[in-house]
């Protein structure tokens, strides 16, 4: 019973956006609403500054700070809200993709002036893969932005999802008056005040209230009535089932920096967003309400301080109750492990906890026993799916600069890639190809190999565009492909073959020449039992 109650209370989600759309600002405002922080600016300081791209140690330092707030929990209207932070810097996109495997829903922030941007599309692709329910917040309505109908069309086309406005803006930019709630007929008048957390809601009892003109001017009242009539004519009523299936995104308008439109967003989120439900393991579906504990590691954070070289594994609980000091089964290592100091994060505080529930993310002390994707259970051999590797975009050969430290280099690169800093592919048995989504990771690897393992390396760029995991039911064709393309074939850490495509064109040709081979952009095609 207690388990059911705790599950129903929980909402675990991430806020995602193209950099600068307002993710950090929105996160902070939600924490203010939830009473988890009391001053604006508390979250800001954890952000990776965009100007610091060349100074990765600075970034690591900032990541170090942000570890305590990587998960921000707070209570609101009787619910436990867990916001999983995702790095804003695009070079850490892989971190973001992995975090998205641990949430039950997302809020996507879009800049009203810029509309859908590159990173917005890529993040949505990851959400679509998992059918993650998405709520869209169109931010910066206090700036001269694009026409809201046009924005909705663009969202539908570029993000391949149906939309349903839940609130509607009354003008925008200099003349922004506020938003009208399409469901309960409330009017929220805009006031540019960054510090307040309350909002001035006026129940006008619907669009026909004659007082509307007094508040927003007659011209804007008429325009709003026109817009609402159009919306009611064009859009179907909001269907929660479609939202939960990841097919329909409810859309809100507001201004995060001015604290405007946040309450509508949060209140609706609480009502419609899913609590932890079920999750697919290779062996079977696991329901959150099952008594035995299950969960998986989706992120590992290493402490770069040479005096405290420990790591924190971020563990997402999928079912059952987690208890401190209890023995659990580490399925990959087939051994019993227990944790005396599991931590949980409330706003910017880190506390040792005695128990945690499905939907929660806890930090586990890791002296090197965890890899991304590792599963803990109470004995059952389960392997959760949905934690794939994504194709890297930059590939470089790792060269050893100090032959006396070969072993250290070998160990170092394996451990760093277990942590998810980068991916490792092996060609011709020994050649090591490191793949990442950002240049910064190469600096991080070089620095850490030197400082943590005493190994020296250099990188030689390769001109590959993407990696594709390959499978085929036609063994002959697969063997033929591997033979003919040996210069562009490498093997991942689980010894699965990967095709390194130089261009989209090369991929197209390969597909035409070998029609029975399947090319997978992520490693998540693996079938039962193939995870090691």
Q: Where on the chain is the footprint of ligand G4P (CB under 6 A)?
A: 17, 19-25, 88, 139-140, 142-143, 255-258
Q: Is 16 helix (H, G, I), strand (E, B) or coil?
A: strand
Select 140 or 177, whichever has its Cβ closest to ligand G4P: 140
Which residues fall within 8 angstroms of residue 263, CB to CB, at 6 or more apart? Answer: 33, 188, 199, 201
- How many CB atoms are closer than 10 A to CB 80? 18
**Rounded to an integer, what is the distance from CA 39 to the centroid of its chain?**
26
Select 293 or 440, whichever has its Cβ closest to ligand G4P: 440
Over 198-240, what HEC string results? CCCEEECCCCCCCCHHHHHCHHHHHHHHHHHHHHHHHCCCCCH
Select 20 or 378, whichever has its Cβ closest to ligand G4P: 20
Select 159 or 510, whichever has its Cβ closest to ligand G4P: 159
Q: How many CA atoms lie within 13 A of 417 on its CB side?
A: 22
Which residues fall within 8 angstroms of residue 295, CB to CB, at 6 or more apart? Answer: 315, 316, 317, 318, 319, 322, 375, 376
> Does an H or E element contain 397, and which?
strand 394-400
Select 12 or 255, whichever has its Cβ closest to ligand G4P: 255
Q: Least distance to ligand G4P from the beta carbon of 217, Å?
A: 22
Select 216 or 257, whichever has its Cβ closest to ligand G4P: 257
Q: Least distance to ligand G4P from the beta carbon of 259, Å?
A: 9
Q: Least distance to ligand G4P from the beta carbon of 112, Å?
A: 8
**Rounded to an integer, what is the distance from CA 425 to the centroid of its chain?**
24
Select 111 or 374, whichever has its Cβ closest to ligand G4P: 111
Which letter does DSSP use for residue 67 in this model? Answer: G
Q: Least distance to ligand G4P from the beta carbon of 434, Å?
A: 27
Q: Least distance to ligand G4P from the beta carbon of 41, Å?
A: 8
Over 332-371, what HEC string results? CCCEEECCCCCEEEECCEEEECCEECCCCEEEEEECCCCC
Select 134 or 413, whichever has its Cβ closest to ligand G4P: 134
Backbone torsion region of residue 261, taken as left when φ is above 0, otherwise alpha when ψ lies between -120 and 50, otherwise beta: left
Select 62 or 294, whichever has its Cβ closest to ligand G4P: 62
Q: Least distance to ligand G4P from the beta carbon of 24, Å?
A: 3
Q: Least distance to ligand G4P from the beta carbon of 351, Å?
A: 26
Q: Least distance to ligand G4P from the beta carbon of 440, Å?
A: 17
Q: Least distance to ligand G4P from the beta carbon of 144, Å?
A: 10
- Separation in Å, CA 474 to CA 100, 445, 480, 516, 525: 34, 38, 10, 7, 16
Select 121 or 502, whichever has its Cβ closest to ligand G4P: 121
| CA proximity to 424, closest of 336, 511, 493, 321 | 493
Which residues fall within 8 angstroms of residue 201, CB to CB, at 6 or more apart? Answer: 186, 187, 188, 263
As a whole number of angstroms, the distance between CA 441 and CA 18 comes to 20
Q: Least distance to ligand G4P from the beta carbon of 252, Å?
A: 12
CB 98 within 8 A of CB 420: yes
Beta bridge partners of 329: 336, 377
Q: Which two tokens stand for residue 302?
A: 């290493």
As a whole number of angstroms, the distance between CA 282 and CA 331 comes to 12
């Amino acid at each position: 019973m207690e388990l059911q109650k705790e599950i129903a209370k929980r909402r675990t989600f991430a806020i995602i956006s193209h950099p600068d759309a307002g993710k950090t600002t929105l996160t902070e405002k939600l924490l203010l609403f939830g009473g988890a922080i009391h001053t604006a600016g508390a979250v800001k300081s954890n952000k990776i500054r965009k100007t610091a791209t060349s100074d990765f140690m600075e970034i690591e330092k900032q990541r170090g700070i942000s570890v305590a707030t990587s998960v921000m929990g707070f209570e609101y209207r009787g619910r436990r809200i867990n916001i999983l932070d995702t790095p804003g810097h695009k070079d850490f996109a892989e971190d973001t993709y992995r975090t998205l495997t641990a949430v039950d829903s997302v809020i996507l922030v879009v800049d009203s002036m810029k509309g859908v941007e590159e990173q917005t599309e890529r993040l949505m692709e990851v959400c679509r893969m998992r059918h993650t329910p998405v709520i869209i917040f169109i931010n910066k309505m206090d700036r001269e932005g694009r026409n809201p109908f046009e924005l909705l069309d663009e969202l539908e086309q570029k993000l391949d999802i149906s939309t349903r406005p839940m609130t509607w803006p009354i003008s925008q930019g200099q003349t922004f008056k506020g938003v009208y709630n399409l469901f309960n007929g409330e009017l929220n008048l805009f006031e540019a005040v960054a510090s307040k957390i309350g909002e001035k809601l006026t129940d006008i009892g619907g669009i026909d209230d004659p007082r509307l003109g007094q508040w927003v001017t007659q011209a804007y009242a008429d325009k709003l009535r026109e817009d609402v009539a159009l919306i009611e004519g064009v859009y179907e009523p909001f269907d929660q089932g479609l939202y939960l299936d990841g097919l329909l995104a409810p859309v809100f308008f507001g201004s995060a920096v001015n604290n405007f439109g946040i309450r509508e967003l949060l209140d609706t989120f609480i009502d419609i967003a899913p609590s932890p439900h079920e999750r697919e393991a290779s062996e079977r579906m696991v329901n959150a309400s099952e008594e035995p504990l299950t969960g998986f590691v989706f992120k590992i954070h290493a402490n770069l301080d040479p005096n405290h070289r420990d790591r924190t594994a971020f563990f997402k609980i999928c079912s059952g109750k987690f208890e401190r000091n209890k023995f659990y089964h580490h399925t990959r290592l087939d051994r019993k492990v227990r944790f005396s100091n599991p931590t949980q994060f409330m706003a910017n505080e880190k506390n040792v906890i005695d128990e945690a529930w499905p939907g929660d993310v806890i930090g586990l002390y890791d002296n090197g026993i965890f890899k991304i994707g590792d599963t803990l259970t109470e004995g059952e051999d389960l392997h959760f799916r949905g934690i794939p590797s994504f194709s890297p975009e930059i590939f470089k050969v790792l060269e050893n600069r100090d032959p006396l430290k070969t072993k250290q280099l070998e160990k170092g690169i394996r451990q760093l890639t277990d942590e998810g800093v980068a991916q490792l592919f092996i060609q011709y048995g020994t050649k090591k190809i490191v793949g990442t989504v950002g240049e910064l990771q190469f600096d991080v690897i070089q620095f850490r190999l030197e400082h943590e393992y005493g190994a020296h390396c250099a990188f030689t760029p390769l001109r590959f565009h993407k990696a594709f995991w390959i499978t085929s039911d036609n063994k002959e064709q697969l063997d033929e492909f591997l033979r003919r393309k040996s210069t562009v074939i490498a093997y991942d850490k689980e010894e699965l073959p990967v095709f390194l495509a130089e261009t989209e064109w090369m991929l197209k040709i390969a597909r035409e020449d070998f029609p029975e081979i399947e090319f997978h952009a992520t490693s998540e095609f693996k079938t039962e039992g193939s995870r090691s």
